[in-house]
Structure 1
Amino acid sequence: MVTGNPLLMQTSKLCSCRSPRPLAIIALRTSCSPRWSSSNSRWKQRQGRDMFAREAKVQGLKSRAAFKLLEMDSKFKIFRSGQTVVDLGYAPGSWSQVAQERTRPHGRVIGIDLIPAQPPRGVATFQGDFLSPMVQKLVRDFIARTASQKASLKNKGVGVEAGSEEPVLDQPSYIDRERHASEEVEVNDAGESAASSVDVVLSDMSAPWDQTSGFMSNTLTNPYHRLMNTSGVAFRDHAGSMDLCTAALQFASDTLKPGGHFVCKFYQGAEDKIFEGKLKRMFGKVSREKPESSRRESKEAYFIALRRKQGVLLEPEDTR
Protein backbone atom coordinates (compact mmCIF):
# COMPACT_ATOMS: atom_id res chain seq x y z
CA MET A 1 0.00 0.00 0.00
CA VAL A 2 1.38 3.42 -0.97
CA THR A 3 1.88 5.77 1.96
CA GLY A 4 2.55 9.46 2.22
CA ASN A 5 -0.09 10.68 -0.24
CA PRO A 6 -3.21 12.14 1.47
CA LEU A 7 -5.65 10.80 -1.13
CA LEU A 8 -4.25 7.26 -1.03
CA MET A 9 -3.95 7.32 2.76
CA GLN A 10 -7.59 8.43 3.00
CA THR A 11 -8.77 5.52 0.88
CA SER A 12 -6.55 3.09 2.78
CA LYS A 13 -8.11 4.03 6.11
CA LEU A 14 -11.52 3.01 4.82
CA CYS A 15 -10.29 -0.54 4.32
CA SER A 16 -11.10 -1.21 7.98
CA CYS A 17 -14.14 -3.39 8.59
CA ARG A 18 -15.30 -0.78 11.11
CA SER A 19 -16.10 1.58 8.26
CA PRO A 20 -19.87 1.58 7.55
CA ARG A 21 -19.40 2.17 3.83
CA PRO A 22 -16.14 1.09 2.18
CA LEU A 23 -14.98 2.86 -0.91
CA ALA A 24 -15.36 1.28 -4.31
CA ILE A 25 -11.63 0.91 -4.65
CA ILE A 26 -11.50 -1.25 -1.54
CA ALA A 27 -14.56 -3.41 -2.04
CA LEU A 28 -14.51 -4.20 -5.73
CA ARG A 29 -12.71 -6.99 -7.52
CA THR A 30 -12.32 -7.32 -11.25
CA SER A 31 -12.84 -10.55 -13.10
CA CYS A 32 -10.23 -9.90 -15.76
CA SER A 33 -6.61 -8.83 -15.78
CA PRO A 34 -5.79 -5.21 -16.74
CA ARG A 35 -5.55 -4.58 -20.47
CA TRP A 36 -3.42 -1.49 -20.24
CA SER A 37 -0.25 -2.27 -22.14
CA SER A 38 2.04 -0.46 -24.54
CA SER A 39 5.04 -1.18 -26.68
CA ASN A 40 6.43 2.22 -25.76
CA SER A 41 9.10 1.73 -23.09
CA ARG A 42 8.79 5.30 -21.81
CA TRP A 43 5.06 4.74 -21.23
CA LYS A 44 5.86 1.57 -19.26
CA GLN A 45 8.50 3.34 -17.19
CA ARG A 46 6.13 6.19 -16.38
CA GLN A 47 3.42 3.74 -15.33
CA GLY A 48 5.90 1.92 -13.12
CA ARG A 49 6.85 5.15 -11.34
CA ASP A 50 3.24 6.38 -11.07
CA MET A 51 1.98 5.71 -7.54
CA PHE A 52 -1.66 6.02 -8.64
CA ALA A 53 -1.17 3.44 -11.40
CA ARG A 54 0.52 1.08 -8.94
CA GLU A 55 -2.18 1.58 -6.34
CA ALA A 56 -4.95 1.01 -8.89
CA LYS A 57 -3.41 -2.35 -9.76
CA VAL A 58 -3.05 -3.33 -6.09
CA GLN A 59 -6.65 -2.43 -5.27
CA GLY A 60 -8.21 -4.12 -8.31
CA LEU A 61 -9.19 -0.96 -10.15
CA LYS A 62 -9.40 -0.99 -13.92
CA SER A 63 -7.31 2.20 -14.21
CA ARG A 64 -5.79 5.05 -12.23
CA ALA A 65 -8.63 7.31 -13.42
CA ALA A 66 -10.74 6.00 -10.53
CA PHE A 67 -8.77 8.19 -8.13
CA LYS A 68 -9.78 11.30 -10.08
CA LEU A 69 -13.49 10.57 -9.62
CA LEU A 70 -13.00 9.52 -5.99
CA GLU A 71 -11.27 12.82 -5.26
CA MET A 72 -14.00 14.84 -6.98
CA ASP A 73 -16.75 12.93 -5.19
CA SER A 74 -15.04 13.43 -1.85
CA LYS A 75 -15.00 17.18 -2.45
CA PHE A 76 -18.35 17.75 -4.20
CA LYS A 77 -20.54 14.85 -2.92
CA ILE A 78 -21.67 13.78 -6.39
CA PHE A 79 -23.03 10.33 -5.52
CA ARG A 80 -25.58 8.94 -3.10
CA SER A 81 -27.41 5.66 -2.64
CA GLY A 82 -29.99 4.64 -5.25
CA GLN A 83 -28.93 7.02 -8.03
CA THR A 84 -29.07 6.34 -11.76
CA VAL A 85 -25.70 7.17 -13.35
CA VAL A 86 -24.73 7.28 -17.04
CA ASP A 87 -21.00 6.96 -17.73
CA LEU A 88 -20.06 8.21 -21.22
CA GLY A 89 -16.76 6.78 -22.45
CA TYR A 90 -16.75 4.25 -19.61
CA ALA A 91 -13.94 1.94 -20.87
CA PRO A 92 -11.97 0.47 -19.25
CA GLY A 93 -14.52 0.89 -16.45
CA SER A 94 -12.87 2.51 -13.43
CA TRP A 95 -15.37 5.37 -13.20
CA SER A 96 -18.22 2.87 -13.46
CA GLN A 97 -16.60 0.89 -10.64
CA VAL A 98 -16.63 3.96 -8.41
CA ALA A 99 -20.19 4.94 -9.38
CA GLN A 100 -21.48 1.40 -8.81
CA GLU A 101 -20.01 1.24 -5.31
CA ARG A 102 -21.01 4.78 -4.32
CA THR A 103 -24.68 4.33 -5.37
CA ARG A 104 -25.24 1.06 -3.49
CA PRO A 105 -27.79 -0.20 -2.74
CA HIS A 106 -30.32 -0.02 -5.58
CA GLY A 107 -28.21 2.24 -7.80
CA ARG A 108 -28.04 1.81 -11.59
CA VAL A 109 -24.95 2.50 -13.69
CA ILE A 110 -25.11 2.53 -17.50
CA GLY A 111 -21.90 2.77 -19.53
CA ILE A 112 -21.42 3.68 -23.20
CA ASP A 113 -18.22 3.35 -25.20
CA LEU A 114 -16.91 2.58 -28.65
CA ILE A 115 -14.24 0.35 -27.11
CA PRO A 116 -15.12 -3.31 -26.49
CA ALA A 117 -14.36 -3.69 -22.78
CA GLN A 118 -15.36 -6.01 -19.94
CA PRO A 119 -17.76 -3.95 -17.79
CA PRO A 120 -17.66 -4.04 -14.00
CA ARG A 121 -20.13 -6.43 -12.42
CA GLY A 122 -23.61 -4.95 -12.16
CA VAL A 123 -23.03 -2.24 -14.80
CA ALA A 124 -25.20 -2.24 -17.94
CA THR A 125 -23.21 -1.21 -21.00
CA PHE A 126 -23.67 -0.31 -24.67
CA GLN A 127 -20.86 -0.65 -27.20
CA GLY A 128 -21.25 1.99 -29.87
CA ASP A 129 -20.40 5.51 -30.97
CA PHE A 130 -22.03 7.90 -28.51
CA LEU A 131 -22.19 10.58 -31.21
CA SER A 132 -24.58 8.36 -33.20
CA PRO A 133 -28.23 9.46 -32.74
CA MET A 134 -29.28 5.81 -32.92
CA VAL A 135 -27.00 4.84 -30.03
CA GLN A 136 -28.25 7.74 -27.93
CA LYS A 137 -31.85 6.74 -28.65
CA LEU A 138 -31.14 3.16 -27.56
CA VAL A 139 -29.70 4.43 -24.30
CA ARG A 140 -32.59 6.83 -23.65
CA ASP A 141 -35.12 4.08 -24.38
CA PHE A 142 -33.30 1.74 -22.00
CA ILE A 143 -33.29 4.38 -19.26
CA ALA A 144 -36.98 5.11 -19.76
CA ARG A 145 -37.92 1.43 -19.82
CA THR A 146 -35.97 0.50 -16.69
CA ALA A 147 -37.20 3.60 -14.85
CA SER A 148 -40.81 2.67 -15.65
CA GLN A 149 -40.24 -0.92 -14.58
CA LYS A 150 -38.67 0.22 -11.33
CA ALA A 151 -41.62 2.50 -10.58
CA SER A 152 -44.10 -0.25 -11.48
CA LEU A 153 -42.39 -2.74 -9.18
CA LYS A 154 -42.38 -0.21 -6.37
CA ASN A 155 -46.11 0.41 -6.79
CA LYS A 156 -46.78 -3.34 -6.76
CA GLY A 157 -44.74 -3.76 -3.59
CA VAL A 158 -42.22 -6.18 -5.09
CA GLY A 159 -39.49 -6.88 -2.57
CA VAL A 160 -35.75 -7.14 -2.85
CA GLU A 161 -33.76 -9.99 -1.37
CA ALA A 162 -31.25 -9.16 1.32
CA GLY A 163 -27.88 -8.38 -0.23
CA SER A 164 -29.39 -8.13 -3.70
CA GLU A 165 -29.91 -5.00 -5.78
CA GLU A 166 -32.49 -6.50 -8.12
CA PRO A 167 -36.17 -7.21 -7.45
CA VAL A 168 -37.28 -10.81 -7.04
CA LEU A 169 -39.32 -11.67 -10.14
CA ASP A 170 -40.08 -14.73 -12.22
CA GLN A 171 -39.34 -14.49 -15.93
CA PRO A 172 -42.58 -13.51 -17.75
CA SER A 173 -44.12 -15.99 -20.15
CA TYR A 174 -45.01 -15.20 -23.75
CA ILE A 175 -48.67 -14.73 -22.75
CA ASP A 176 -47.65 -12.32 -19.99
CA ARG A 177 -45.61 -10.26 -22.44
CA GLU A 178 -48.56 -10.07 -24.84
CA ARG A 179 -50.87 -9.14 -21.99
CA HIS A 180 -48.67 -6.24 -21.00
CA ALA A 181 -48.05 -5.01 -24.55
CA SER A 182 -50.54 -2.19 -24.06
CA GLU A 183 -48.72 -1.12 -20.92
CA GLU A 184 -45.50 -0.82 -22.92
CA VAL A 185 -47.25 1.53 -25.35
CA GLU A 186 -48.15 3.75 -22.42
CA VAL A 187 -44.54 3.64 -21.27
CA ASN A 188 -43.35 4.77 -24.72
CA ASP A 189 -45.88 7.62 -24.70
CA ALA A 190 -44.44 8.76 -21.40
CA GLY A 191 -40.87 8.18 -22.57
CA GLU A 192 -39.85 11.81 -22.42
CA SER A 193 -40.66 12.19 -18.72
CA ALA A 194 -39.36 8.71 -17.85
CA ALA A 195 -36.07 9.34 -19.64
CA SER A 196 -35.50 12.40 -17.45
CA SER A 197 -34.69 10.11 -14.56
CA VAL A 198 -30.88 10.24 -14.59
CA ASP A 199 -29.21 11.60 -11.46
CA VAL A 200 -25.62 11.89 -12.69
CA VAL A 201 -24.06 12.07 -16.17
CA LEU A 202 -20.31 11.42 -16.30
CA SER A 203 -18.16 12.02 -19.37
CA ASP A 204 -14.53 10.95 -19.52
CA MET A 205 -14.54 10.86 -23.32
CA SER A 206 -11.66 11.92 -25.54
CA ALA A 207 -11.64 12.19 -29.32
CA PRO A 208 -9.99 9.27 -31.16
CA TRP A 209 -7.19 9.66 -33.61
CA ASP A 210 -7.98 9.35 -37.29
CA GLN A 211 -7.67 5.76 -38.49
CA THR A 212 -5.29 5.70 -41.45
CA SER A 213 -4.58 1.98 -41.77
CA GLY A 214 -5.50 -1.44 -40.46
CA PHE A 215 -9.20 -1.47 -41.32
CA MET A 216 -9.48 -5.13 -40.35
CA SER A 217 -10.35 -6.63 -36.97
CA ASN A 218 -8.41 -4.60 -34.42
CA THR A 219 -7.74 -4.79 -30.71
CA LEU A 220 -7.58 -2.21 -27.95
CA THR A 221 -4.09 -1.26 -29.10
CA ASN A 222 -5.53 0.48 -32.16
CA PRO A 223 -5.67 4.23 -31.47
CA TYR A 224 -8.94 4.59 -33.39
CA HIS A 225 -10.65 2.37 -30.85
CA ARG A 226 -8.80 3.78 -27.83
CA LEU A 227 -10.58 6.99 -26.87
CA MET A 228 -8.08 7.54 -24.05
CA ASN A 229 -5.43 8.96 -26.44
CA THR A 230 -4.54 12.52 -27.30
CA SER A 231 -2.87 13.68 -30.49
CA GLY A 232 -0.20 15.83 -28.82
CA VAL A 233 -1.52 18.88 -30.69
CA ALA A 234 -3.03 21.13 -27.99
CA PHE A 235 -5.48 22.98 -30.26
CA ARG A 236 -6.75 19.78 -31.84
CA ASP A 237 -7.21 18.04 -28.48
CA HIS A 238 -9.01 21.08 -27.06
CA ALA A 239 -11.37 21.45 -30.03
CA GLY A 240 -12.21 17.75 -30.01
CA SER A 241 -12.87 17.73 -26.29
CA MET A 242 -15.21 20.73 -26.55
CA ASP A 243 -17.25 18.92 -29.21
CA LEU A 244 -17.54 15.87 -26.98
CA CYS A 245 -18.40 17.99 -23.93
CA THR A 246 -21.18 19.70 -25.90
CA ALA A 247 -22.56 16.34 -27.05
CA ALA A 248 -22.47 15.06 -23.47
CA LEU A 249 -24.20 18.21 -22.22
CA GLN A 250 -26.94 17.82 -24.83
CA PHE A 251 -27.49 14.26 -23.59
CA ALA A 252 -27.60 15.55 -20.01
CA SER A 253 -30.12 18.21 -21.05
CA ASP A 254 -32.36 15.44 -22.44
CA THR A 255 -32.03 12.95 -19.58
CA LEU A 256 -30.88 14.63 -16.37
CA LYS A 257 -33.51 15.26 -13.74
CA PRO A 258 -33.75 18.60 -11.89
CA GLY A 259 -31.15 18.64 -9.14
CA GLY A 260 -28.92 16.19 -11.05
CA HIS A 261 -25.17 16.53 -11.57
CA PHE A 262 -22.86 16.58 -14.61
CA VAL A 263 -19.12 15.86 -14.71
CA CYS A 264 -17.05 16.07 -17.90
CA LYS A 265 -13.40 16.00 -18.86
CA PHE A 266 -12.03 18.68 -21.18
CA TYR A 267 -8.67 19.86 -22.47
CA GLN A 268 -8.03 23.46 -21.54
CA GLY A 269 -8.07 26.11 -24.24
CA ALA A 270 -9.78 29.19 -25.64
CA GLU A 271 -13.32 27.77 -25.79
CA ASP A 272 -13.67 26.32 -22.31
CA LYS A 273 -14.92 29.65 -20.91
CA ILE A 274 -17.78 29.58 -23.42
CA PHE A 275 -18.69 26.05 -22.39
CA GLU A 276 -18.50 27.03 -18.72
CA GLY A 277 -21.08 29.74 -19.44
CA LYS A 278 -23.46 27.13 -20.87
CA LEU A 279 -23.07 25.06 -17.73
CA LYS A 280 -23.78 28.04 -15.47
CA ARG A 281 -27.08 28.65 -17.26
CA MET A 282 -28.17 25.05 -16.62
CA PHE A 283 -26.74 24.32 -13.16
CA GLY A 284 -26.73 25.96 -9.77
CA LYS A 285 -22.99 25.55 -9.14
CA VAL A 286 -20.15 25.00 -11.61
CA SER A 287 -16.52 24.31 -10.65
CA ARG A 288 -13.29 23.54 -12.46
CA GLU A 289 -11.09 20.86 -11.00
CA LYS A 290 -7.73 19.31 -11.77
CA PRO A 291 -7.49 16.32 -9.43
CA GLU A 292 -4.23 15.49 -7.73
CA SER A 293 -4.13 12.18 -9.59
CA SER A 294 -4.22 14.00 -12.95
CA ARG A 295 -0.70 14.27 -14.32
CA ARG A 296 0.78 17.74 -14.01
CA GLU A 297 1.92 17.86 -17.62
CA SER A 298 -1.56 17.01 -18.90
CA LYS A 299 -3.89 19.77 -20.11
CA GLU A 300 -6.91 17.81 -18.94
CA ALA A 301 -9.28 19.24 -16.35
CA TYR A 302 -12.86 18.60 -15.27
CA PHE A 303 -16.06 20.59 -15.01
CA ILE A 304 -18.28 19.63 -12.07
CA ALA A 305 -21.79 21.04 -12.54
CA LEU A 306 -24.14 20.50 -9.60
CA ARG A 307 -27.90 20.83 -9.15
CA ARG A 308 -29.49 21.13 -12.57
CA LYS A 309 -32.02 23.95 -12.70
CA GLN A 310 -35.69 23.16 -13.27
CA GLY A 311 -36.90 23.68 -16.84
CA VAL A 312 -33.59 24.95 -18.26
CA LEU A 313 -32.58 23.24 -21.52
CA LEU A 314 -29.56 23.48 -23.78
CA GLU A 315 -30.53 25.88 -26.56
CA PRO A 316 -29.84 24.95 -30.22
CA GLU A 317 -27.31 27.75 -30.59
CA ASP A 318 -25.42 26.35 -27.58
CA THR A 319 -24.61 23.17 -29.51
CA ARG A 320 -22.62 25.01 -32.18
Structure 2
Amino acid sequence: MTESRKTGQRNLSTRLRTAKGRSTASQKWLERQLNDPYVQAARAQGLRSRAAFKIIELDERFKLFRPNQRIVDLGAAPGGWTQVAVKRTGEKGKVVALDILPMDLIPGAIVLQGDFNEESAEQAVLEALDGPADLVISDIAPNTTGHNATDHLRILALVELAADFARKVLSPGGAFVAKVFQGGTERELLAGLKRDYASVRHAKPPASRKDSAEMYVVAQGFRGGQKDEQPG
Protein backbone atom coordinates (compact mmCIF):
# COMPACT_ATOMS: atom_id res chain seq x y z
CA MET A 1 0.00 0.00 0.00
CA THR A 2 1.48 3.35 -0.99
CA GLU A 3 1.74 6.28 1.37
CA SER A 4 -0.97 8.29 -0.37
CA ARG A 5 -3.46 5.46 -0.01
CA LYS A 6 -3.13 5.54 3.77
CA THR A 7 -5.21 8.70 3.97
CA GLY A 8 -8.43 6.92 3.11
CA GLN A 9 -9.30 6.02 6.67
CA ARG A 10 -12.81 6.77 7.87
CA ASN A 11 -13.03 9.50 10.48
CA LEU A 12 -15.96 11.05 12.27
CA SER A 13 -16.28 14.79 11.81
CA THR A 14 -14.71 16.82 14.60
CA ARG A 15 -16.09 20.17 15.71
CA LEU A 16 -14.36 22.71 17.91
CA ARG A 17 -15.68 22.71 21.46
CA THR A 18 -15.67 26.47 21.60
CA ALA A 19 -15.44 29.25 19.07
CA LYS A 20 -14.91 31.95 21.68
CA GLY A 21 -12.42 34.55 20.54
CA ARG A 22 -12.16 33.12 17.03
CA SER A 23 -13.35 34.67 13.80
CA THR A 24 -15.69 32.64 11.59
CA ALA A 25 -12.92 32.17 9.03
CA SER A 26 -10.49 31.01 11.71
CA GLN A 27 -13.00 28.55 13.12
CA LYS A 28 -13.72 27.08 9.69
CA TRP A 29 -10.00 26.71 8.96
CA LEU A 30 -9.37 24.93 12.26
CA GLU A 31 -12.32 22.57 11.75
CA ARG A 32 -11.09 21.79 8.23
CA GLN A 33 -7.63 21.00 9.58
CA LEU A 34 -9.05 18.75 12.30
CA ASN A 35 -11.15 16.80 9.77
CA ASP A 36 -8.64 16.67 6.91
CA PRO A 37 -7.45 13.06 6.42
CA TYR A 38 -4.21 14.26 4.83
CA VAL A 39 -3.43 16.37 7.91
CA GLN A 40 -4.12 13.37 10.12
CA ALA A 41 -2.02 11.06 7.95
CA ALA A 42 0.87 13.54 7.88
CA ARG A 43 0.90 13.67 11.66
CA ALA A 44 0.71 9.89 11.93
CA GLN A 45 3.64 9.43 9.53
CA GLY A 46 5.80 12.18 10.99
CA LEU A 47 5.55 14.40 7.92
CA ARG A 48 5.82 18.14 8.43
CA SER A 49 2.90 19.07 6.20
CA ARG A 50 -0.06 17.61 4.33
CA ALA A 51 1.62 18.96 1.18
CA ALA A 52 3.97 15.98 1.34
CA PHE A 53 1.18 13.87 -0.14
CA LYS A 54 1.00 16.11 -3.19
CA ILE A 55 4.55 15.27 -4.26
CA ILE A 56 3.97 11.61 -3.32
CA GLU A 57 0.95 11.49 -5.64
CA LEU A 58 2.77 13.34 -8.40
CA ASP A 59 5.61 10.83 -8.08
CA GLU A 60 3.20 7.92 -8.36
CA ARG A 61 1.90 9.36 -11.63
CA PHE A 62 5.08 10.74 -13.21
CA LYS A 63 7.85 8.61 -11.61
CA LEU A 64 9.84 11.63 -10.51
CA PHE A 65 12.10 10.06 -7.90
CA ARG A 66 14.85 7.49 -8.42
CA PRO A 67 17.59 6.16 -6.16
CA ASN A 68 20.79 8.20 -5.90
CA GLN A 69 19.40 11.42 -7.37
CA ARG A 70 20.57 14.96 -6.68
CA ILE A 71 17.45 16.94 -5.77
CA VAL A 72 16.74 20.60 -5.03
CA ASP A 73 13.61 21.62 -3.10
CA LEU A 74 12.93 25.34 -3.60
CA GLY A 75 10.89 27.16 -0.98
CA ALA A 76 11.18 24.01 1.09
CA ALA A 77 9.84 25.15 4.48
CA PRO A 78 8.42 23.54 6.52
CA GLY A 79 10.00 20.52 4.84
CA GLY A 80 7.31 18.01 3.87
CA TRP A 81 8.51 17.70 0.27
CA THR A 82 12.12 17.46 1.46
CA GLN A 83 11.25 14.55 3.75
CA VAL A 84 9.68 12.67 0.83
CA ALA A 85 12.65 13.43 -1.43
CA VAL A 86 15.13 12.12 1.16
CA LYS A 87 13.18 8.91 1.62
CA ARG A 88 12.66 8.22 -2.07
CA THR A 89 16.15 8.96 -3.36
CA GLY A 90 17.81 6.94 -0.61
CA GLU A 91 20.99 7.24 1.43
CA LYS A 92 23.24 7.68 -1.60
CA GLY A 93 21.18 10.55 -3.00
CA LYS A 94 21.62 14.22 -2.15
CA VAL A 95 18.76 16.52 -1.26
CA VAL A 96 19.25 20.26 -0.84
CA ALA A 97 16.40 22.25 0.69
CA LEU A 98 16.45 26.01 0.12
CA ASP A 99 14.15 28.60 1.65
CA ILE A 100 14.36 32.30 2.35
CA LEU A 101 13.05 31.56 5.86
CA PRO A 102 14.82 29.58 8.60
CA MET A 103 13.93 25.89 8.55
CA ASP A 104 14.54 23.09 11.03
CA LEU A 105 17.09 20.52 9.94
CA ILE A 106 15.90 17.32 8.28
CA PRO A 107 17.98 14.14 8.63
CA GLY A 108 19.51 13.22 5.28
CA ALA A 109 19.05 16.68 3.73
CA ILE A 110 21.23 19.77 3.44
CA VAL A 111 19.17 22.76 4.55
CA LEU A 112 20.18 26.19 3.24
CA GLN A 113 18.71 29.60 3.88
CA GLY A 114 18.66 32.07 1.01
CA ASP A 115 16.81 33.55 -1.96
CA PHE A 116 17.03 31.23 -4.96
CA ASN A 117 16.90 34.28 -7.21
CA GLU A 118 20.35 35.34 -5.99
CA GLU A 119 23.51 33.99 -7.60
CA SER A 120 25.04 33.24 -4.21
CA ALA A 121 22.18 30.85 -3.41
CA GLU A 122 22.57 29.11 -6.77
CA GLN A 123 26.28 28.59 -6.12
CA ALA A 124 25.60 27.35 -2.59
CA VAL A 125 23.13 24.80 -3.93
CA LEU A 126 25.54 23.51 -6.58
CA GLU A 127 28.34 23.23 -4.03
CA ALA A 128 26.07 21.32 -1.66
CA LEU A 129 24.95 18.98 -4.45
CA ASP A 130 28.53 18.50 -5.66
CA GLY A 131 27.24 18.40 -9.24
CA PRO A 132 24.18 19.21 -11.35
CA ALA A 133 20.68 18.36 -10.12
CA ASP A 134 18.50 15.56 -11.47
CA LEU A 135 15.26 17.04 -10.13
CA VAL A 136 14.13 20.50 -9.02
CA ILE A 137 10.84 20.69 -7.13
CA SER A 138 9.02 23.82 -6.00
CA ASP A 139 5.86 24.24 -3.95
CA ILE A 140 6.40 27.99 -3.64
CA ALA A 141 3.36 30.23 -3.76
CA PRO A 142 2.96 33.92 -2.88
CA ASN A 143 0.50 35.06 -0.26
CA THR A 144 -2.85 35.30 -2.00
CA THR A 145 -4.68 38.60 -2.30
CA GLY A 146 -8.09 37.17 -3.17
CA HIS A 147 -7.90 38.83 -6.58
CA ASN A 148 -7.54 35.95 -9.03
CA ALA A 149 -5.80 37.85 -11.82
CA THR A 150 -3.25 39.35 -9.43
CA ASP A 151 -2.58 36.04 -7.69
CA HIS A 152 -2.15 34.32 -11.06
CA LEU A 153 0.45 36.86 -12.19
CA ARG A 154 2.33 36.69 -8.89
CA ILE A 155 2.67 32.93 -8.90
CA LEU A 156 3.63 32.92 -12.59
CA ALA A 157 6.46 35.31 -11.78
CA LEU A 158 7.72 32.87 -9.13
CA VAL A 159 7.41 29.91 -11.50
CA GLU A 160 9.40 31.77 -14.15
CA LEU A 161 12.17 32.42 -11.65
CA ALA A 162 12.12 28.81 -10.47
CA ALA A 163 12.20 27.55 -14.07
CA ASP A 164 15.20 29.76 -14.78
CA PHE A 165 16.93 28.41 -11.68
CA ALA A 166 16.21 24.83 -12.76
CA ARG A 167 17.58 25.51 -16.22
CA LYS A 168 20.88 26.59 -14.64
CA VAL A 169 21.34 23.65 -12.29
CA LEU A 170 19.71 20.63 -13.99
CA SER A 171 21.61 17.91 -15.77
CA PRO A 172 20.37 16.66 -19.18
CA GLY A 173 17.37 14.39 -18.69
CA GLY A 174 16.40 16.09 -15.44
CA ALA A 175 12.95 17.20 -14.34
CA PHE A 176 11.24 20.28 -12.92
CA VAL A 177 8.01 20.40 -10.88
CA ALA A 178 6.38 23.65 -9.75
CA LYS A 179 3.09 24.94 -8.41
CA VAL A 180 0.92 27.07 -10.69
CA PHE A 181 -2.70 28.19 -10.48
CA GLN A 182 -5.57 26.87 -12.59
CA GLY A 183 -5.25 28.25 -16.06
CA GLY A 184 -1.85 26.62 -16.21
CA THR A 185 1.22 28.44 -17.41
CA GLU A 186 1.19 31.43 -19.73
CA ARG A 187 2.08 30.95 -23.37
CA GLU A 188 5.59 32.38 -23.14
CA LEU A 189 6.54 30.33 -20.08
CA LEU A 190 4.97 27.19 -21.51
CA ALA A 191 6.82 27.68 -24.80
CA GLY A 192 10.08 27.98 -22.88
CA LEU A 193 9.40 24.81 -20.92
CA LYS A 194 8.49 22.89 -24.08
CA ARG A 195 11.71 24.11 -25.66
CA ASP A 196 13.78 22.98 -22.69
CA TYR A 197 12.01 19.70 -21.83
CA ALA A 198 10.83 16.68 -23.80
CA SER A 199 7.52 16.51 -21.89
CA VAL A 200 5.47 19.21 -20.17
CA ARG A 201 2.19 18.36 -18.44
CA HIS A 202 -0.18 19.82 -15.86
CA ALA A 203 -1.69 17.86 -12.97
CA LYS A 204 -3.81 18.40 -9.87
CA PRO A 205 -2.96 15.69 -7.32
CA PRO A 206 -5.80 14.35 -5.14
CA ALA A 207 -4.18 15.88 -2.06
CA SER A 208 -4.80 19.37 -3.47
CA ARG A 209 -8.02 20.62 -1.93
CA LYS A 210 -10.92 20.74 -4.36
CA ASP A 211 -11.57 24.39 -3.60
CA SER A 212 -7.93 25.30 -4.28
CA ALA A 213 -6.91 26.82 -7.61
CA GLU A 214 -3.47 25.23 -7.43
CA MET A 215 -2.10 22.87 -10.06
CA TYR A 216 1.40 21.64 -10.85
CA VAL A 217 3.44 21.80 -14.00
CA VAL A 218 5.62 18.72 -14.50
CA ALA A 219 8.43 19.12 -17.02
CA GLN A 220 10.58 16.05 -17.72
CA GLY A 221 13.48 15.23 -20.00
CA PHE A 222 15.56 18.40 -19.71
CA ARG A 223 17.33 18.82 -23.00
CA GLY A 224 20.37 20.62 -21.55
CA GLY A 225 22.88 22.58 -23.54
CA GLN A 226 20.39 25.42 -24.02
CA LYS A 227 22.32 28.07 -22.13
CA ASP A 228 23.03 31.32 -23.86
CA GLU A 229 26.08 31.05 -26.06
CA GLN A 230 28.90 33.47 -25.50
CA PRO A 231 30.09 35.31 -28.58
CA GLY A 232 33.37 33.99 -29.85
Quote the Cα distance in structure 1 between the aligned partners of 2:105 and 2:187.
Answer: 34
Alignment of 1:174-185 (within 5 A): none
Q: Does 1:305 align with 2:219?
A: yes
| Structure 2 counterpart of 1:199 | 134
Find 1:8's aligned residue among 5, 9, 22: 5
Cα offset for 1:42?
A: 1.9
Residue type of the partner of 2:137? L
**Residues 133 and 170 in structure 2, CA contact (< 8 A), matched pair in contact too:** yes
Q: Does 1:258 align with 2:172?
A: yes
Cα offset for 1:7?
A: 3.7
Alignment of 1:152-171 (within 5 A): none
Compared CA separation, residues 142 and 104, structure 1 to 2 (3 A): closer
Quote the Cα distance in structure 1 between the aligned partners of 2:215 and 2:228.
Answer: 22
| Structure 1 counterpart of 2:14 | none
| Structure 1 counterpart of 2:19 | none
Other structure's SS at 1:111 match: strand
Other structure's SS at 1:124 match: strand
Quote the Cα distance in structure 2 between the aligned partners of 1:292 and 1:269.
Answer: 18
Q: Which whole-Å deviations, capped at 9, do the CAs of 1:40-96 have from their partners, x for residues lacking one? A: 222111111211111111111100001100011011111111000000000000100
Residue type of the partner of 1:8? R
Compared CA separation, residues 271 and 86, structure 1 to 2 (3 A): closer
| Structure 2 counterpart of 1:279 | 193
State how many pairs are aligned. Answer: 214
Quote the Cα distance in structure 2 between the aligned partners of 1:47 and 1:273.
Answer: 36
**Residues 198 and 255 in structure 1, CA contact (< 8 A), matched pair in contact too:** yes
TM-score by length of structure 2 reads 0.84
| Structure 1 counterpart of 2:149 | 235
Q: Does 1:83 align with 2:69?
A: yes
Residue type of the partner of 2:188? I
Quote the Cα distance in structure 2 between the aligned partners of 1:278 and 1:247.
Answer: 12
Q: Which whole-Å deviations, capped at 9, do the CAs of 1:245-304 have from their partners, x for residues lacking one? A: 111111111110000011011123485343222111111111100000101111110011
Other structure's SS at 1:120 match: coil
Q: Which whole-Å deviations, capped at 9, do the CAs of 1:85-142 have from their partners, x for residues lacking one? A: 0000000001001100000130000011122121321110111222233323332343
Compared CA separation, residues 237 and 52, structure 1 to 2 (3 A): same
Unaligned ranges ≥5, structure 2:
10-21
Q: Does 1:132 align with 2:126?
A: no
Cα offset for 1:10?
A: 8.7
TM-score by length of structure 1 reads 0.62
Compared CA separation, residues 10 and 126, structure 1 to 2 (3 A): same
Alignment of 1:5-44 (within 5 A): 7-9=4-6, 40-44=26-30
Larger Rg: 1
Other structure's SS at 1:244 match: helix
| Structure 1 counterpart of 2:160 | 246
**Residues 65 and 88 in structure 2, CA contact (< 8 A), matched pair in contact too:** yes
**Residues 92 and 119 in structure 1, CA contact (< 8 A), matched pair in contact too:** no
| Structure 2 counterpart of 1:18 | none
| Structure 2 counterpart of 1:214 | none
Q: Does 1:292 align with 2:206?
A: yes
Bigger strand share: 2
**Residues 290 and 302 in structure 1, CA contact (< 8 A), matched pair in contact too:** yes
Deviates more, 1:304-313 or 1:282-291: 304-313
